[in-house]
Structures are given as structure tokens and as C-alpha cells.
Amino acid sequence: MKGTRALPDTRKSEALHERALDLFPGGVNSPVRAFRAVGGTPRHIVSARGAILTDADGNELLDYVLGWGPMLLGHANPSVVEAVERQLRNGFLYGLSNPLEVELAERVRRFYPAAERLRFVASGTEATMAAIRVARAATGRDDIVKLDGCYHGHADGFLIKAGSGLQTFGIPDSAGVPTAVAAGTRVAKFNDLDSVKAAFELRPGSPPAALILEPVIGNMGVIAPEPEFLSSLRALCDRHGTLLVFDEVMTGFRIARGGAAERFGVRPDLVTLGKVIGGGLPVAAFGGRADLMKLVAPEGPVYQAGTYAGHPLAMAAGNATLAILESDSAIFRRVEARTGLLAAGLREILARRNVRGVVNSLGSMWTLFFGVDQVASADEARRADSKRYATVFQGLLERGVLLPPSAFESAFLSDAHTETEIDRTLEAADEAMEDLA
């Protein structure tokens, strides 16, 4: 197979990337789009429909990035397009409240009852920042605990890597994060209750304000919680008067109607949501117990605000998306079943080709890790072979299939991915893995 196929023409993407390099750091407006982890030319996309992206050169890509998660219904779903078009004609920024905010919040709460009250923001980063501010105000404590491998957006206090973090205080994972801010973040390990307990007890007599985690990690590739891990965290938080914050920006409205809270039967005190709730337009939210949300301005002393919060176009897209999920609740099972088919097919290829690797999947999130037999922690994910991932990424891209351009990001499936497309992906993956030999 190798060498006989014509490679796609990417000259227009290349030329655009050259111009972009002069304008943006790394030529991009969000780092992973630069393809640094996988090599090759970052594609510039000009349109998207269903499961397919079309790049500037006219190449079609079967999309497993799905805007990094939001596009559960696939791209340009007709009902969502129609709702946005309708709103567009009525103006698109009012600076005052609009009925679509109320409608969407009621929908979100029906799906996610732990969000007793909520507030819309424009990005997941804002949502996690605000949730932690509420937790600090409610408890009168400063420190938080985060888990290694979980990503909560790019606010200072979350950009902390574990390292030997348990016995020490947080070490910034990014330049420009003040040491004093990093010191307020204690890091523990996912799926390791003892490490979380140790982080809670790190400063004697001073338990943390909040424990924040992705209840299913999606930002180290997909890593599911072990049985009882989440419920043990709930009990630990209750013992210490610490607030449990589920960051369900990725998992909410994706791994089940009510996200990980529903799937694993654990109720957080505060939750952050995003991605799917905006149907591809910028919407996120933080919410939780009514007594905690009462602390938020103007009802309470925790300040938080946003010019684009509750943006009418985004609310229209969110409402149209959640209306579909409400009327066709089988979507979650359907997309999960197809994800299961894809994961099983990939496992079969790994076994048949004798390629060491593992496929993690949960709901419609999935990751292909090479060079390891299991991934249940961030440490295990880091041991995965990202060079092999890059080779397979390129092999698939040449065959018109787009995986996340990083070995440590979850891939997704949408309701627009049919079994035919899954078969096509498996054929391409089989060929791409031949390139590994």
C-alpha cells in the first residue's frame, strides 16, 4: 500500500498556514490546532456538514474531532442552522436578557438536576474559574485540589502539573503563572483515592475549598473512573466540608443526558458544563446547589459577568440542540453503540496486526493509545507511544480520516457518523497500521 497512493493536495492549507504563522503564535488561535504533536500541515477548514469537514483544498475529512466535542449531532444540523438563522434575523446581541436564556437554562436543569441554579458564560475556562470562586467564597478557604491529567481551561490556578505534587505544592505548568497562585492548587491522582486523601490533609487543619475533576478524563485521552472512585470522592468531600466540583464541560450531555453525574450516580455540589450545550456556538455554564449559586452577583458577593454571556445566537443553537436530545433520547445509546463498534474494530486490528495498544471508550468518547496495555491514570497515558500515534494519525489523514492531532485528546463520535463511515474508518485504520510494521 505504502507509496502507491496519491497524497492529498494541501497547497492551499499550506499557503494559509504560512500567512497565519506571521499573524498568530504557532499560526493558530488554540495550540493543538498547530499539529505540532503529529507533524504535517495543519488543515484550514472551510465547511462542515454531518460527519465531514472540507478543507481549503477541497479534501473531505471524516471528522472525529467534532470541534473538540460540541458537535454531538454532527455539523450543520438543519434544525440548529434554522434556529440560528431565525435568531440572526432578529438581531444578535441585546445587552439585556432574552427569553432563549431562560429556555436553555430550564432545559439544562431538566437534563442535569444538580445544576439547581446556573449561569451562562462563553467558555469552559470562564465556567471553571467562576465555580472555584464560588467554592472559595462558600467555604472561606483558599486551596483547591485538582487531579493530574484533568484539564479545566487555562486559568492560572488550573495550569498545574502533578510531578511529585502530592508531597509538595503545585508547580506551574505554564510560564506566567504566579507561584503564589500555583501554591493554592494541590494535585492528586485520578483513580487513586489515597492520593486525594493525602492532598486533602496536606496542610494540617486546612482542608481545601474544592475538589475539581473531570469525572471521566477526556484531556489525557479517555480515562474512566474505577468503580466507587467518584462516590468515594463524594464521601471524602462531605467529611471535610469540601465542595465537589465536576467539570463536565466535555462529558455533560455527551456520555449520558445527565453526564457523569447521571451515569455514575454521584451528585456534585457545583458543575461546569459547555461544549454540547451550545451546539457548536460558544456557550458554557457553571451551576449547582441553589444555596451556593445564591452567592453569585447580583444576589451575592461573588463577582462574575460577561458581555457575551447568554448570547442570543448561542442560546438559539443550544436550545435547538437540546430540543433534539430531549425528543430523541435514544441518541446517546445509538452513538455509544456505534462508538463501541468502532472501538471493537480497532481492537481487532491491533490484535490481528500484533500492534501493542489499547482503545479506551466511554459513551461517545474514545482514544487509541499505542505501546501500552491499559490506561487508567495520567501516568499510564504518558507512557503511551505518541510517535506511533502520530504515524497512524498521518496515515488516517492521508486517507481522509481526521483524529485529534494529539495522542492525549479524546476523539468523539456524532450521531451523523453512520456504520458505513465506521467501516470506512476501520479500513483506513487497518491500512494506516500497516505503515507501523
125 in contact with ligand PLP (CB under 6 A)? yes
Site string for ligand PLP, 284-313 (x = CB under 6 A): x-----------------------------
Closer CB to ligand PLP, residue 151 or residue 332? 151
Count of residues touching ligand PLP (by CB under 6 A): 16
360 closest CA partner among 408, 427, 430, 420: 408
Among 128, 185, 339, 425, the residue binding ligand PLP under the rule CB under 6 A is 128
185 in contact with ligand PLP (CB under 6 A)? no
- To ligand PLP, the closest distance from the beta carbon of 430 in angstroms equals 30
88 closest CA partner among 77, 96, 97, 100: 100
123 in contact with ligand PLP (CB under 6 A)? yes
- Give the catalytic positions in this structure: 151, 247, 275
Site string for ligand PLP, 350-389 (x = CB under 6 A): ----------------------------------------
412 in contact with ligand PLP (CB under 6 A)? no
152 in contact with ligand PLP (CB under 6 A)? yes
Among 27, 67, 74, 153, the residue binding ligand PLP under the rule CB under 6 A is 153
Classify residue 1 as exposed, middle or buried by CB count within 10 Å of its CB (0-12, 13-18, 19+).
Answer: exposed
409 in contact with ligand PLP (CB under 6 A)? no
274 in contact with ligand PLP (CB under 6 A)? yes
Of 94-102, 146-154, 165-173, 310-318, which segment contacts ligand PLP by CB under 6 A?
146-154
**Stretch 192-251 residues interacting with ligand PLP (CB under 6 A):** 214, 218-219, 247, 249-250
Closer CB to ligand PLP, residue 274 or residue 405? 274
**Stretch 59-88 residues interacting with ligand PLP (CB under 6 A):** 68
120 in contact with ligand PLP (CB under 6 A)? no
Closer CB to ligand PLP, residue 143 or residue 247? 247
- To ligand PLP, the closest distance from the beta carbon of 250 in angstroms equals 4
Classify residue 76 as exposed, middle or buried by CB count within 10 Å of its CB (0-12, 13-18, 19+).
Answer: middle
Closer CB to ligand PLP, residue 77 or residue 272? 272
Residue nearest to ligand PLP (CB): 124
CB distance 170 to 398 below 8 Å = no
Binding site for ligand PLP (CB under 6 A): 68, 123-125, 128, 151-153, 214, 218-219, 247, 249-250, 274, 284
